[in-house]
Structures are given as structure tokens and as C-alpha cells.
Amino acid sequence: MVQTAQNTAAAEPGHALAPQAWISRFGPVLRGANTGLLAGLRFAAKDNIDALGLPTTAACPAFSYQPSAHAPVVRRLLDAGASLAGKTNLDQFACGLNGTRSPYGAVPNAMAPAYVSGGSSAGSAYVVATGQVDFSLGTDTAGSGRVPAGLNNIVGLKPSKGLISARGVVPAAQSVDCVSIFARTVGVAAQVLHAAMGYDAHDPYSRDLKLKSQAFGTFKFGVPDALAFFGDTQAEAAFQDAIARLQALGGTPVTIPWQPLADAATLLYESALVAERYQAIRGFFDAHENEVIEPVRSIIGKGRGYSAADLFEAQTQLKALGQQAARMWSPAHQGIDLLLVPTAPTHYTIAQMQADPVALNRNLGAYTNFVNLLDYAALSVPSSLRQDGLPFGITLIGPCGSDWQLAELGQRYHHGTGLTLGATGQPLPAMQAIPGIKPVQTIRVAVVGAHLSGMPLNSQLTERGAVLFAPAETAPDYRFFALPGTVPPKPGLLRVAPGTGSRIALELWDMPVEAYGSFVALIPAPLGIGTLRLSDGSTAQGFLCEALACEGAQDISHTGGWRNFLAASAAAVAVVS
């Protein structure tokens, strides 16, 4: 029997898993409480996190030990009702971003087995992407909780430092380590964070943080002024699509200087800061250096060669770079609310990674290494599937304490992609409430013309804090007209007898109640606001046109929507010219 703080977790008979499951050191399932926020969910833990009754190896057999207690994060999850399925494979001592640095074998990409899974939390991402568990725990020092998410079409939540206790976790670099969460949806990841977070007086880096609770309405997001994709044109195109998608959610892109962030990232491995990796396992490493595989051994051993003076020099450099980077958040400079980057700039095969393990691993971390050093929160969400079928993910990065805000926006972004869940092929479920976000009273507004995303009047929505909910279409009870003499060009939607009209494409936007009056005041005759019937039987407030104004106007109902009409018109002009 395994004791937890509030319940007795019963041990069920273990069973062998096929090698491709990538749950290493699998033992009895540890059942959680019968009730709780996470009741009924199964999870796995990266094998550098202690779970009583299961050995902790950090992917190094000579290092293996039997923990005397659950890590606090594991205990909190069991108390919240989740059940532990086992421990997952990782890059040894959490040193790597690719998932091939383990004596237990390389973890393949869940969607393309010839490719790397990303690391170091490789197995944790794989078992979530393939549907073996509902969520998993990873750790993140330089991007290990984000890169595997981006490469496997799942969510990777990297919380603010100290929000989740890291006690009972084999350190990689203790001052910047974070326990991270993998899930197939942001909603589940946020629920897990809510259950896992909490101050731990016995963890020297734990913090009692007050998280921001106001969701983003309109927002500015930073885009680096220098982006490297290492020749991967498909990833580059996918990132441009991501920028457009974030704009459609109410964001305005702002170019930010990338060099301070890139220079900070370099310090993690190319300065005395790497000595913290050696310090984390110094006793074991000095006695058993030959038991550590390459290139992990060389990376950790490099930390021996720095002096205390070298470390203070590196810390001062980091502080200076942090001050430079902080300008992007300042209203006096770029004034961004969050930063957008690719989670990983490209994909590599396992063979490529094993042939050039250091340089290619560094490339995978091009947009991750600086985040914990500069005390930011981050969330990786799936963005698209490339033409070659490989996943592309983006990461939303915010200041410390912005975790709930990133989750709320990230969930809307993810659900707007229409992607399926990980490698399971299952559709996205309904969105879930984000625990720490205060609900805002809104009115759902349907737009069919110049207020659509990217259209001339869309700013009348975004500047009032409206956010895109979803694309939709009307019931087949409407005729659609191109109104002559309108600037900018506008359509008119006319209600007709049920079944005698067409389905017309539209967008649904959620607008704060307090802004609705000023929006309606902008609507010119012959347009007005009425109640529209949608194809799913629901209703929304939307634009309708006076019948008199539609007399003699061009009926464009057959096009199915304003975007289709404009595209057809442009094509016709091109043919004529």
C-alpha cells in the first residue's frame, strides 16, 4: 500500500508494456483519490520525478534509487484523483532537447517514427500524444517541456518558476528548473496546473505567486526581428500562418529585437551557468563519470572548469540582457503583452540527430533556452500540420504570473486550428473554463462582411476587446446581397421564408457587454442589428439589412459568403485584364 497525504493509493497489478509505449520502469498503477478535480484521469511522470514504489533513474541505471516519498507534485495529483501509470523515458539527466540520449533507447516522434520526439521529456510527450495517458509530467530547464509538445502535436505548459514545487525532482539546473505539464488540450493542462501548483516551504526556489486573472481581449504580441528555420521553408510558412491566426484572435504583431534573448539563451550552455548542471549531480558524477553517456558526460563535465568569478560574470551578463529584453514589455518601447515564437524551428530524423547530436540539438532550442533564465511563463500549443504531415507548434511567452492568461488565449488558438488530438486522430472536445480567469460578460455577435477577420472594419471589433469565438454559418433562411455604393464595400443579409434562402458563412465574436453599445452606434443605415438563426439552431446578434435596400442589389447568395464573393470578383477582374 502506498500512502499519500490524504488517501491510501491502492496498488494494482502491473503489466508489461510493449517497447514502443516508452513508459520505462513501469510498476503498479498508483490509484488516486476517488474524488477530486482530476478524478478518473491517468498520468505518467518523467523518470527524474520521485514516485514512491517506483525507482527514479534519470535514464542512468547506475544512478537509480528508490525514493522515500512522492515528490509533492505527484502527491498533489494523486490527492486530486489522478492515477499514476508509470515513469517515462528521457534524455539522460534531462540534458538534451531531442529524446535520443538514453540507454533505454531513442523515443520516436508519435506521428512520424523516423523523426525525433524532442526532449528531454521525450517519453512524457509520446505517451500523451499516443493516448496512453491523459496527461504527463515533464521538466523544463531549457525547453524540455515545450519542444516535445511542438514536435508531437500536443500542449506543453511551462509554468512560472516556483509555481509548482520541484522538490523530489532530480535537478538539471535547480535555479531555473520547472515541472511542466503535457496534455492533448489546454483545458486539461490548466486543470492539472490548478491541482499541482502551490507554495512549498521546503523547496528553496518555490514562490507564492499571484497569477494574473484578466483574459487578453485585444493585445500586442511580439515577433522576433530575426528568425532562423535552418532551411526549413515549411516551418517558416507555418509560422507566418500562425501570425495571421493570432491576429484574427485580436492580436497586433509588433517586431521586437531578438538579439538580447538569443544572447541570454547562449549563456545557458556557453558560460559558467553550465556549472549548475555539474553541481546538480556532482557527487554521483565524480564517482561514476563513465556511467554517463555521451554527449551528456561532456556537457556536464564542462561545468567543472569554471571558477566562482566566472559564474558571477555570467550572472551579471544575464542581468544586463534581462534588462534589455524587458523593454519589449514596456509601454515606452514595444509594449507587448506576450511573445510569439516557433516552439521548434524544424524537425530532424533520429539518424540525423545521432550523426550530429550537439549542433542539431542546439538548433531545436533556438526559441526556448532564454525563457526560464529570464523568468517567463510559456505555453506551447499545436498550430498546424505541414505539407509533409509533420506537426508545427507555436509558443506563447509572457511575464512571470501570466500563466492563466496564456492558457486562455492558447486554448482559443488551439481550438481555432481544427487539428485532431496528438497522434490519436480524435477531434478536439469543447473548450473548458480556465481556472484562474475571471469570466467576462459578453454578447455573441455574428459578422458577415467588412467586419470579418482581416477585413477593413474588423478593428471596430478588436479595439473594443471582442475576441473571435468560431466560424459558423446561418440557417438556410437568408439571401445575401452586394450593396451598391457602400464604402468600404458591404453586403446585406436579408431574412426570407424558412428554407427559401441559403447558408451564409459568418464569424462569431464575443464582445464585452460594456462595449456593445458603442459598437451598435457605428452601424449605418440600411444595416441594423437583429437576431440571426444559425445552422446549428442557436442564435446570435448580427447584421441584417432593410428589404428596400436589397431591391436591385446583386444577389450573391450562391457564393456562400463575403470572402467567396470577393475572391470570385478578383478572379473575374484578373481574367478580364
Q: What is the pLDDT of residue 489?
A: 87
Per the CB < 8 A criterion, the answer to whether 484 and 458 are in contact is no
Q: In terms of domains, do 313 and 331 share one?
A: no
Span 303-308, average pLDDT: 95
Say how far apart CA 537 and CA 398 lie, in whole Å.
38
Per the CB < 8 A criterion, the answer to whether 188 and 149 are in contact is no
| Residue that finishes a domain, picked among 398, 424, 450 | 424
CATH at residue 561: 3.10.490.10
| Vertex 64: Cα angle to 59 and 69 (nearest 5) | 110
CATH at residue 406: 3.90.1300.10
Contacting residues for 561 by C-beta, under 8 A, at least 6 apart: 448, 473, 480, 504, 505, 506
572 pLDDT exceeds 80? no
Say how far apart CA 525 and CA 236 lie, in whole Å.
44
Q: Per the omega criterion (within 30 degrees of 0), is the bond before 295 cis?
A: yes
User: For residue 224, is it within any domain?
Assistant: yes
Q: In terms of domains, do 304 and 413 share one?
A: no
What string of DSSP letters covers 458-472? Answer: THHHHTTT-EEEEEE
6 pLDDT exceeds 60? no
378 pLDDT exceeds 50? yes
Q: In terms of domains, do 240 and 273 share one?
A: no
User: For residue 435, is it within any domain?
Assistant: no
Q: What is the pLDDT of residue 518?
A: 94
Span 249-264, average pLDDT: 94
Span 448-503, pLDDT tens digits: 999 998 899 998 998 888 888 889 999 999 999 999 988 888 999 999 998 899 99
Q: In terms of domains, do 215 and 302 share one?
A: no
Looking at the annotation, which residues are catalytic? 46, 120, 144
Q: What is the pLDDT of residue 463?
A: 86
| Residue with more model confidence, 332 or 23 | 332
3-class DSSP assignment, residue 421? strand
Q: What is the pLDDT of residue 487?
A: 87
Say how far apart CA 110 and CA 114 lie, in whole Å.
10
Per the CB < 8 A criterion, the answer to whether 506 and 448 are in contact is yes
User: For residue 163, is it within any domain?
Assistant: yes
Q: In terms of domains, do 69 and 172 share one?
A: yes
User: For residue 437, is it within any domain?
Assistant: no
Number of folded domains in the chain?
A: 3
535 pLDDT exceeds 90? yes
- Region class of 317: left (phi > 0), else alpha (psi between -120 and 50), else beta: alpha
Per the CB < 8 A criterion, the answer to whether 479 and 501 are in contact is yes
7 pLDDT exceeds 50? no
| Residue that finishes a domain, picked among 297, 317, 337 | 317
Say how far apart CA 186 and CA 196 lie, in whole Å.
15
Helix axes 403-417, 186-196, angle to 10 degrees: 160
| Residue that finishes a domain, picked among 397, 424, 451 | 424
Q: What is the pLDDT of residue 19?
A: 36
Q: What are the CA-CA distances from residue 82 to residues 32, 118, 187 (Å)?
A: 5, 26, 15
10 pLDDT exceeds 60? no
| Residue with more model confidence, 438 or 135 | 135
Q: In terms of domains, do 136 and 230 share one?
A: yes
412 pLDDT exceeds 50? yes
Q: What is the pLDDT of residue 441?
A: 82
Q: Amino acid identity of 397?
A: I
Q: In terms of domains, do 196 and 130 share one?
A: yes
* Owning domain of residue 312: 265-317
Q: In terms of domains, do 103 and 119 share one?
A: yes
Q: In terms of domains, do 285 and 403 share one?
A: no
Phi, psi of 63 (to 5 degrees): -90, -15
User: For residue 432, is it within any domain?
Assistant: no
Span 257-277, pLDDT tens digits: 999 999 999 999 999 999 999
Q: Per the omega criterion (within 30 degrees of 0), is the bond before 526 cis?
A: yes
Q: In terms of domains, do 129 and 231 share one?
A: yes
CA atoms within 13 A on the CB side of 148: 43
Q: What is the pLDDT of residue 33?
A: 86
Q: In terms of domains, do 63 and 156 share one?
A: yes
Model confidence at 12, in pLDDT bands (50, 70, 90)?
very low
Span 55-112, pLDDT tens digits: 999 999 999 999 999 999 999 999 999 999 999 999 999 999 999 999 999 999 999 9
Task: Please list, residue by residue across 186-214, b when 16 or more beta carbons sit within 10 angstroms of its beta carbon and e when fewer do.
Answer: bbbbbbbbbbbbeebeebebbeebebbee
User: For residue 549, is it within any domain?
Assistant: yes
Model confidence at 24, in pLDDT bands (50, 70, 90)?
low
Q: Amino acid identity of 484?
A: P
Q: In terms of domains, do 204 and 352 share one?
A: yes
